[in-house]
Structure 1
């Protein structure tokens, strides 16, 4: 006759495995549900980030650009950040010195060159007058200021 203790031990192990398997199945199901929810949220965040980028780029494009219009003070002026940086380098001036000529700060000149800002119409007129100057004339102006 088999030992009752060993039979009891085997039966307890079998029932325990059965209970653990049932618990693990519920955990697996909830894990799958949570993972799919996380994936859906990631997709949603990605779509929202794309939409945000698209909207902000659209807002930048729709921002009123200094359209060439005739004004009382003279012809229409256009602005180019690269041309501004090139002219400043040609004159061998710091941004602060160039800003002093235009009537703005050096940081404003840096922002214009990096495309983070645009000059106002009256500042465009000042930029045009500085563009008409040569190195010697600029040096004279800076000495007098």
Structure 2
């Protein structure tokens, strides 16, 4: 009787595997199609994110209002870039003057102020008037040769 029971169990297992094979094949096809669709959607999302980044760089963000203080009063908009303000800082003036290779006296002559004013601005003891800031920022944007050329004719 054990041989009959073993034969019956083997036959049931064989039929079950045959039935499952068809079901598993259908599931594999569905799974493969879903994976391909997910991969395509990931590519599409990546392309859309790249497009958003490009568009974000083209469109400037609206300017945020800063509280009015002595240093904020010296903020001006740079060369035609709407929504972005450049603020005068003593450290920036000092590093740019050193980069240009100018002395405090030469910088003062270029700006039409005293060398004491330059020293106070660089040390943070004072801030330039709002009327001086555009010319100051223009001077900071110059190259070394151009700045030295402007100083040379004024030298005694």
TM-score (norm: length of structure 2): 0.46
TM-score (norm: length of structure 1): 0.49
